[in-house]
Amino acid sequence: MKILIARMNHETNTFSPVATPLAAFGGNGPAWREDAYRENKGMRTAMSAFIDAAEREGAQIVTPVSASANPSGPVAAAAYDAICAAIVAAAPGCDAVMLDLHGAMVAEQTPDGEGDLLERVRAALPRAPIAVALDLHGNVTQKMIDNADVIVSFKTYPHVDMYETGEHAARLLLARIKGQAHPVLAWRQPPLLTSTLRSSSADGAMRRAIEAARAAEAEGMLAVSVLAGFSLADIPAPCISVVVVGDGDATAAEAVAERIARQIWDERSDFVYRSPPLAESVAHAAQLAREAQGTHGTGKPVLLLDHGDNCMSGGTCDTMDLLEVALAQGLTGMVSGPLCDPEAVAALIEAGVGARVTIGIGNKLTREGAAARAPFMATGVVRAITDGEYVITGPTYTGQRAYMGRAAVLDIGAATLVVTERTHEPWDLGVFESVGVDPRRARFLLLKSRMYCRPVFVPIAAGLVECDSRGVTGSDYGLYRYTRLLRPVFPVDDGFIWRAG
């Protein structure tokens, strides 16, 4: 048996000004062929699980590409074509396909990156079964449903079950090949834009929906996935979905999909996040720090999560609102980063370690329609310069090498700023430790993050405050100009009736 295994991951924020060329996929572009295999073998991605499952079967494996980029603006046409062409070119002669996809890719030439790829793979291999692993924030489309035999998404956010999702999808595909299962797909998509901060698998309506999915699996469905969708994409339906893989009984699968979709719709208000004013959030963080110091005598930092400029939703990581408000309120002992500003990094490197400089940082990229801002003028001492690379210790992307681009540390007295050439999610303490900064010694940690930092940084923190800097990943849909969105859709519209089925 010959199995095609590939990875193409990108969550596209169509409102983000951050470009997505081919070089954005990896340290300097995708990993191809044997390098794609080596990049995933022994890791914790869905592709890693596909490789392990295929090798246990003694299958011949073809791995044309492994391409994963941080969320950003639409994928460049040439990048999308190169990745898809590599996958499709590897298809002839293969008996099965396992694809590690995100599910919310928009390219310059298509609003449905995964659906178009799957359509091409299906055309190349009309009789070969296709299994797909998706991110919990995938935007499911009819093309994806029509051109896959098995679809399974993550059930956790933060995503700590990537490998397990790939293992699940591979198991169902192999069972189909052996005649042990007969997968059929059912899909429902309520017209509901969900806030990413309301898609945590640990809380609220999302947790209850995932519990319903697990219960349906325990009762006989092969797989049930609840995909929160990614609403910061100007496509027809960047909405929540329920995808059910039944075992030969389409009617039963449809009933499960409809039941869970109705549950979600009935709790739709719980999927919407409404941010308090930024100044109020910063004042709350200051109060938490005072209480922690006075009551417990703890030296642990308070986390301020700048979800309005979140790298892993396409943020620029150069919106300086949070730092500016924190300084205006007199906060000290701050560590902030990673802040993305290639020009500032170059200037800091030229100045050298130990130099005292005054430099403009950030506020250089804005969303469409937003007023231009002057850079934040920082005066301080350059403390460190590095290549910006480190190895993630987990639990997300465990063992993978991370690339921040060149990095510099600027000490401005009240705050230590970690400035990088690339946008970067604080996956790991290594974001700071790799540049010689101990995040545990900070009084306040200002992170460009929403959720992924939490498994690592919450255990070392005295408290957490969500802060909305009104960047390109804010939770207020009024910030964005949708032109393709199908209406009505909640919460942009209200008072309409939706009927599943």
Q: How far apart are CA 333 and CA 443, in angstroms?
A: 5
Spatial distance between the Cα atoms of 276 and 280, rounded to a whole number of angstroms: 7
| Residue 447 placed within a domain | yes
Q: What is the pLDDT of residue 400?
A: 81
pTM metric for this prediction: 0.91
Report yes or no on 486 lying in a domain: no
Range of 337's domain?
278-474
Q: What's the confidence (pLDDT) of residue 351?
A: 98
User: Same domain, yes or no, for 252 and 294?
Assistant: no
* 287 & 145 share domain: no
Q: Which two tokens stand for residue 192?
A: 């509901």
pLDDT band per the 50, 70, 90 thresholds, residue 399:
confident
The CA R_g of the chain, rounded to the nearest whole Å, is 23
The answer on 204 and 254 residing in a single domain is yes
DSSP letter, residue 435: T
Among 92-96, 144-148, 287-291, the least confident range: 287-291
> For 147-180, how does the pLDDT look when each residue is reduced to its tens digit (9 = 90+)?
999 999 999 998 889 999 999 999 999 999 999 9
CATH code for the domain in which residue 91 is found: 3.40.50.2300
Of 117-121, 191-195, 367-371, 408-412, the least confident: 367-371
- Residue 283, in any domain of the structure: yes
Task: List CB contacts of 55: < 8 A, sequence separation 6 or more.
Answer: 61
Lookup: tokens for 406: 């060149």
Maximal C-alpha separation, the chain: 70
Residues 266 and 313 in one domain: no
Flag whether 498 is in a domain: no
Beta bridge partners of residue 377, listed in sequence order: 360
pLDDT score for 297:
52
Give the SS3 label for residue 159. coil
pLDDT digits (tens, 9 = 90+) for 278-300: 999 999 999 999 998 765 556 89
* pLDDT tens track for 188-207: 999 999 999 999 998 999 99
Same domain, 99 and 201: yes
Q: Are residues 24 and 121 in the same domain?
A: yes
pLDDT tens-place string over residues 4-59: 999 999 999 999 999 999 999 987 899 999 999 999 999 999 999 999 999 999 99
Backbone angles phi, psi at 172, to 5 degrees: -70, -40
Q: What is the pLDDT of residue 63?
A: 98
Is the torsion defined by CA of 433, 434, 436, 442 positive or negative?
negative
pLDDT of residue 340: 96
Domain tally for the chain?
2
Q: Does some domain include residue 194?
A: yes
Length of the chain: 501
- Last residue of some domain: 251, 271, 291? 271
Cβ-contact 87, 121 below 8 angstroms: yes
**Residues 252 and 287 occupy one common structural domain:** no
pLDDT surpasses 70 at 110: yes
Return the closest-CA partner of residue 272 out of 193, 347, 336.
193
Contact between 428 and 338 under an 8 Å Cβ cutoff? The reply is no
pLDDT digits (tens, 9 = 90+) for 414-451: 999 999 999 999 989 999 999 999 999 999 999 999 88
219 Cβ contact partners less than 8 Å away, ≥ 6 residues apart = none
Beta strands in 95-178 (DSSP E): 96-101, 130-134, 150-153
Q: Are residues 211 and 188 in the same domain?
A: yes
| Pair of tokens at residue 64 | 């044309």
Residues 136 and 244 in one domain: yes
Cα angle, residue 312 at apex, residues 15 and 43 outer, rounded to 5°: 140
CB neighbours (10 Å) of residue 218? 9
Distances (CA, A) of 459 to 154, 274, 300, 415, 464: 23, 26, 10, 22, 11
Please tell me the distance from the alpha carbon of residue 304 to that of residue 439, in angstroms, as a whole number. Answer: 13
**149 and 200 both lie in a single domain:** yes
Cis peptide before 236 (omega within 30 of 0): no
**Would you say residue 436 lies in a domain?**
yes
> Where do we find the tokens 């417990």?
296
pLDDT tens digits along 200-241:
998 999 999 999 999 999 999 999 999 999 999 999 999 999
**Does residue 297 come out as left (phi exceeding 0), alpha (psi in the -120 to 50 range) or beta?**
left
Same domain, 338 and 235: no
**Same structural domain for residues 242 and 320?**
no
Write the pLDDT tens digit of every residue in 476-499.
898 899 999 999 999 999 999 998
Q: Is 175 a member of any domain?
A: yes
Nearest CA to 309 out of 482, 157, 98, 474 is that of 474
Last residue of one domain, picked from the residues 271, 299, 326: 271
Question: Is residue 488 one of the residues assigned to a domain?
Answer: no
Band (78; pLDDT cuts 50, 70, 90) = very high
pLDDT at residue 294, as a whole number = 66
What is the average per-residue pLDDT within 455-481? 92
**pLDDT tens profile 305-358:** 999 999 899 999 999 999 999 999 999 999 999 999 999 999 999 999 999 999
Question: With 0-12 CB in 10 A as exposed, 13-18 as middle and 19+ as buried, what is 42?
Answer: exposed
